[in-house]
C-alpha cells in the first residue's frame, strides 16, 4: 500500500494559477508553501501512519467517557504543541493570525492523511470565528486562547432525534435561573462529543429559549467543565457504530441542566450558528477533494506497477496502459483537480472579501461537487484495482467508507441543491455568479445556464429541477476553471497532465449540453 503523500504541487497550482490567490493582497505564496511543506512532512510522517490503526481499532465508550484509538492522544499533543490548532486564530488570543487560504491547504492535507482525526479537531477555526463575531469581550478572552492553544476542542451541537434538518423542530431547551443559563435535552450525531485527547471540550449548542419556531433558537457556549472546575452535567449516552470514520467518535449527548452562556442575541442563534456551519461546509468540500486525490494516488500507483496483458507490439502492459483503465484514472484525477478548483475559488473569494454574494453561491456548489467527487473517485479507484480494491490491503475501501458521509453531513447535498434552485435563484447571489461566468467567457455552456436560470425563475416548482440545475451550474463553473488551468498549464510541474485533463473536461461539458437543452425545452 502506497504511503500518503500530500499533493502540494496540485494544491498550489490550483490556488495560485486557477483560483486567483496571487491577486489577494496579503497572500505570500512562497511563505505559504513553506508552511505547507512543514505540515505535509508532519502529516506524512506522523498523522497518516495512525489512520489505519484508528480505522481498525475505533473509539470506545468506557465508564461514560470516550477513549480514542492508541496513539491518538500523543499525536494530538504533538499537533497542538507545534501550533497547528491556532494557525488562523487571531494573534491577540495566542494564534498565528493566518488567513483562510492557508487553512484550506493544511485542512486538505490533514483530511487526506487522517480524516477521522481531522474531524475531531476541525471545528475549532469555525468556533473561534463564531466567538470572535458574536461573543462578548469577556467570552473572547476566556474561550479563544485555549482553543488556539489546543487545550480545548470544539463541537457543534445542532441535530436532534426527529428534528434532522428541520431546525424548527429542535426541542433542547435553555432556561435562565438567577441570571445563569442551563441547557436540558439531547443532541445526536455530535462529532467529537467526547474524547480523551484535549483537556476540555467547548460545545456550541443550539437550544430553544422560546416556542417561536426558528426565532426561538439561541446559541450557547457549554463547556465540559463548570466554572468551579467540576465536570458539567453533560453525559455520553452512546457512540454510533458507523460505516466509516471509526476513529472519530460520533456521540449522543444528554444535557441535564448543564451550565451554559448565551453567545450573541437571544433568539438569533441561527445567524451565529451558520457562521460555524459555513466554515464546516467549506471544510467538508476539501474533505471530498482529499479523498479524490488519495484515490488517484493509490489507484495510479497500483496501475503503473501491475502488469496485465500485452501491448500491440507484444510487450507486457501495465494496467494504466489499457484504454479503459486510463479513462478511469483520468476521471479520478479530473474529479480531484476540478473539485479543488471550485473549493479554492470559494476560499479565495471569501478571503478577498469584496463579493459575499458570489461566496454565498459558490458554497453549496463546492459542498455538493467536491463531496460527490470524493465518493465517485474512491469508487472508480476500487474498480481500477479490481478484486484488490475490495480488500482492506490497499485501503481504497476505507477511502470510500470515510468519504461516503461527506455528502450527508453539514446539510445533505439535496438540501444544498434545493437551496441553489430556490432561495439563491432570484437574488444577488445568482446574479453575482452570472457576472463572474460572463467575465470568464464560458461560451455555449453559459448560454445554456442562463436559459436554465431564466426557466427556473419562471417555473412554479423550481425545486423539481434542482438536481439538473446544480449539475449544469457546476459544469458551467468548471468550464471556466479548466480554461484557466489550460492557460496556466506551464506553471504546473506536469503541464501535459493538466492539458490532457482540461481537454477531457471540455469534451465532457460539450457532451452534457444537449441533455440540458432538452431539459429546458421539455419542461
pLDDT for 521: 63
Mean pLDDT over residues 87-101, rounded? 95
Out of 379, 410, 435, 486, which one is annotated catalytic? 410
Mean pLDDT over residues 467-484, rounded? 95
- Whether 138 has a pLDDT exceeding 90, the answer reads yes
**Confidence bin at 292 (pLDDT 50/70/90):** very high
Q: Is the dihedral of CA 352, 357, 363, 369 positive or negative?
A: negative
- Whether 522 has a pLDDT exceeding 60, the answer reads no
pLDDT in tens, 6-24: 999 999 999 999 999 999 9
Lowest mean pLDDT across 226-230, 342-346, 378-382: 226-230
pLDDT for 443: 75
Mean pLDDT over residues 252-281, rounded? 91
Mean pLDDT over residues 275-282, rounded? 82
- C-alpha distances in Å from residue 80, one per residue of 63, 73, 156: 27, 11, 20
Q: Give the residue among 510, 424, 511 at the shortest CA–CA distance from 470.
A: 424
H-only helix segments in 353-406: 356-385, 387-390, 396-403
Q: Is the dihedral of CA 266, 268, 270, 272 positive or negative?
A: negative
pLDDT for 497: 98
410 carries an active-site annotation: yes
List strand residue ranges (DSSP E) for 100-249, in order: 152-157, 173-177, 180-191, 200-208, 217-223, 234-239
Cβ-contact 36, 12 below 8 angstroms: yes
Q: Give the residue among 514, 488, 509 at the shortest CA–CA distance from 10.
A: 488
pLDDT for 270: 86
Mean pLDDT over residues 332-345, rounded? 98
**Confidence bin at 129 (pLDDT 50/70/90):** very high
Instruction: List, as one string, the DSSP characters of 187-217.
Output: EEEEETSS-SSSSEEEEEEEEESSSSGGGGE
Q: What is the value of pTM for the model shown?
A: 0.96
Lowest mean pLDDT across 255-259, 312-316, 328-332: 312-316
**Confidence bin at 355 (pLDDT 50/70/90):** very high
Q: Give the residue among 236, 225, 217 at the shortest CA–CA distance from 174.
A: 217
- Whether 373 has a pLDDT exceeding 90, the answer reads yes
What is the number of other CB atoms lying within 10 angstroms of the CB of residue 332? 28
Burial class (CB in 10 A: 0-12, 13-18, 19+), 271: middle
Axis-axis angle for helices 29-42, 100-121 (nearest 10):
20
C-alpha 313: how far from chain center? 46
Amino acid at each position: 500500500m502506497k504511503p500518503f503523500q500530500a499533493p502540494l504541487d496540485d494544491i498550489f497550482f490550483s490556488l495560485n494559477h486557477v483560483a486567483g490567490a496571487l491577486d489577494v493582497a496579503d497572500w505570500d505564496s512562497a511563505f505559504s508553501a513553506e508552511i505547507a511543506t512543514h505540515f505535509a512532512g508532519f502529516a506524512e510522517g506522523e498523522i497518516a501512519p495512525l489512520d489505519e490503526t484508528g480505522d481498525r481499532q475505533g473509539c470506545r465508550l468506557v465508564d461514560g467517557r470516550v477513549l480514542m484509538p492508541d496513539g491518538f492522544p500523543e499525536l494530538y499533543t504533538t499537533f497542538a504543541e507545534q501550533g497547528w490548532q491556532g494557525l488562523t486564530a487571531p494573534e491577540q488570543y495566542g494564534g498565528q493570525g493566518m488567513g483562510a487560504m492557508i487553512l484550506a491547504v493544511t485542512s486538505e492535507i490533514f483530511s487526506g492523511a487522517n480524516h477521522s482525526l481531522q474531524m475531531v479537531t476541525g471545528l475549532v477555526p469555525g468556533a473561534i470565528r463564531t466567538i470572535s463575531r458574536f461573543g462578548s469581550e469577556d467570552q473572547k478572552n476566556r474561550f479563544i486562547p485555549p482553543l488556539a492553544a489546543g487545550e480545548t476542542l470544539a463541537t457543534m451541537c445542532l441535530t436532534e432525534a426527529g428534528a434532522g434538518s428541520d431546525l424548527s423542530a429542535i426541542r433542547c431547551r435553555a432556561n435562565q435561573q438567577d441570571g445563569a443559563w442551563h441547557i436540558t435535552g439531547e443532541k445526536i450525531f455530535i462529532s467529537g462529543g467526547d474524547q480523551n485527547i484535549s483537556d476540555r471540550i467547548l460545545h456550541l449548542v443550539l437550544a430553544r429559549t422560546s416556542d417561536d419556531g426558528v426565532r426561538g433558537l439561541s446559541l450557547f457556549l457549554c463547556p465540559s467543565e463548570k466554572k468551579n472546575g467540576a465536570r458539567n452535567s453533560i453525559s455520553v449516552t452512546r457512540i454510533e457504530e458507523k460505516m466509516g470514520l471509526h476513529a472519530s467518535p460520533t456521540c449522543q449527548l444528554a444535557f441535564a441542566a448543564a451550565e451554559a452562556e448565551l453567545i450573541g442575541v437571544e433568539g438569533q442563534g441561527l445567524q451565529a450558528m451558520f457562521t460555524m456551519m459555513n466554515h464546516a461546509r467549506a471544510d467538508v468540500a476539501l474533505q471530498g477533494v482529499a479523498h479524490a486525490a488519495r484515490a488517484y494516488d493509490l489507484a495510479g500507483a497500483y496501475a503503473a506497477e501491475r502488469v496485465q496483458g500485452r501491448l500491440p507490439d507484444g510487450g507486457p502492459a501495465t494496467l494504466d496502459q489499457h484504454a479503459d483503465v486510463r479513462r478511469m484514472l483520468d476521471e479520478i484525477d479530473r474529479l480531484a483537480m476540478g473539485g479543488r478548483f471550485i473549493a479554492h475559488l470559494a476560499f479565495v473569494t471569501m478571503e478577498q472579501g469584496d463579493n459575499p454574494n458570489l461566496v454565498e453561491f459558490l458554497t453549496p456548489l463546492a459542498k455538493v461537487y467536491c463531496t460527490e467527487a470524493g465518493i465517485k473517485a474512491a469508487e472508480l479507484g476500487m474498480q481500477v484495482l479490481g478484486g484488490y480494491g475490495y480488500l482492506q490491503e490497499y485501503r481504497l475501501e476505507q477511502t470510500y467508507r470515510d468519504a461516503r458521509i461527506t455528502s450527508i453531513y453539514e446539510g445533505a447535498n439535496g438540501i444544498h441543491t434545493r437551496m441553489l434552485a430556490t432561495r439563491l435563484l432570484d437574488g444577488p447571489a445568482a446574479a453575482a455568479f452570472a457576472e463572474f461566468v460572463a467575465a470568464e467567457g464560458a461560451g455555449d455552456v453559459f448560454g445554456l445556464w442562463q436559459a436554465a436560470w431564466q426557466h427556473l425563475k419562471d417555473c412554479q416548482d423550481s425545486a423539481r429541477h434542482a438536481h439538473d440545475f446544480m449539475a449544469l451550474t457546476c459544469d458551467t463553473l468548471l468550464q471556466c476553471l479548466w480554461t484557466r488551468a489550460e492557460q496556466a498549464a506551464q506553471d504546473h510541474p506536469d503541464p501535459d497532465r493538466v492539458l490532457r485533463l482540461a481537454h477531457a473536461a471540455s469534451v465532457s461539458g460539450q457532451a452534457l449540453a444537449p441533455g440540458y437543452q432538452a431539459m429546458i425545452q421539455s419542461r
